[in-house]
Amino acid sequence: MSPTTEPPSAGPAGADRPALRADCGSCFGLCCVALPFAASADFAIGKDAGEPCRHLRSDFRCGIHARLRERGFSGCTVYDCFGAGQKVSQLTFEGRDWRRHPETAAEMFAVFPVVRHLHELLWYLTEALTLPAARPVHGALRQALHETERLTLGSAAELRELDLAAHRDQVNQLLLRTSDLVRARIPGRKKNRRGADLIGADLRGADLRGANLRGARLIAAGLERADLTSADLIGADLRDADLSGADLRGAVFLTQAQLNAARGDAATRLPPALTRPVHW
């Protein structure tokens, strides 16, 4: 997607977003090196930022990819770079990998999280432009998308100097407006549980249509058969939440990583841009 490319229009076809999906075969294993993780229920071992995971092979592929969950690396199975890995590897650093060109390593590992955050914003902005209810702000959303894409095309030095927090705040104002417009179409009073502590909450069969669940902690929550139609789920922590039979159609700003961290079943209804996790 170049700065002059028109964002996709409404509907499932516009939700494909291939440039915002990870292509691990075109990446230098950046998430396995650049990011730190601590030994926990999500990771069998810990490592520092810039230290390659012991399971990263010389061809930048994971040596236990097919057995990550059984080997204690469920955190790896839910991570999503939104396509930032291949952009940094093949565009920002022009295909020069950190093993054959170790002088690039420190800068590459610093730039990767920045581009990852920008790509996540691109995901949300692209989704917002598929929503008919957000039409009043489509012009501003399109400008923000083009500007965000332009930033991802900057040099490594420019990316390192970027005031990411300021740009994210500007985009977030548009995403908040988008959320308000979408949720306003749901009749009646909507629940506002933004940032709420709902860890382990029993929400089975709950009517959460149009709810504001931004940043809500829904870890291990029981959401079986809950109706989350048009609910705003940006930043909601769905780790181990049970979404069996839940209706997530039209949920706003839901990501594949959130689904991958949750539990569900064949009856869980999903937005068209997302896929049913293989472990459900």
Instruction: Say yes or no: 72 and 160 in one domain.
Output: yes
- Do 219 and 157 have their domain in common? no
Residue 245's domain spans which residues? 190-280
Residuewise pLDDT in 10s, the chain (280 residues): 333 333 333 333 334 688 999 999 999 999 999 999 999 988 999 999 999 999 999 999 999 999 999 999 999 999 999 999 999 999 999 999 999 999 999 999 999 999 999 999 999 999 999 999 999 999 999 999 999 999 999 999 999 999 999 999 999 999 999 999 999 999 999 999 999 999 999 999 999 999 999 999 999 999 999 999 999 999 999 999 999 999 999 899 999 999 999 999 999 999 988 999 988 9
Domain boundary among 164, 183, 202: 183
Which tokens in the block code for residue 251?
A: 């949920």
For residues 115 and 235, membership in a common domain is answered with no
Q: Which pLDDT score is estimated for 18? A: 86
Same-domain status, 45 and 136: yes
CATH value at residue 280: 2.160.20.80
Q: How many helices (H) and strands (E) does the chain have?
A: 7, 0
Same domain, 151 and 200: no
Is residue 7 a part of any domain in this protein? no
| Amino acid found at 84 | A
Instruction: Return the bridge partners of 242, or none.
Output: 222, 263
In a domain, 10, yes or no: no
Which alpha helices (DSSP H) does 33-187 contain, by range?
74-78, 84-87, 105-128, 138-152, 156-161, 164-183
145 shares a domain with 88: yes
5 falls within a domain:
no
Residue 3 domain flag: no
Among 183, 204, 232, the domain boundary falls at 183
Radius of gyration of the chain (CA): 19
Query: Could you give the CA distance from residue 87 to residue 51 in angstroms, rounded to a whole number?
Result: 21
Total number of domains constituting the chain: 2
Say if 13 falls within a structural domain. Answer: no
**Helix ranges, 5-83 (H):** 74-78
Q: Which of 221, 216, 202 is nearest to 253 (CA)?
A: 216
Q: Kindly state whether residues 42 and 100 are assigned to the same domain.
A: yes
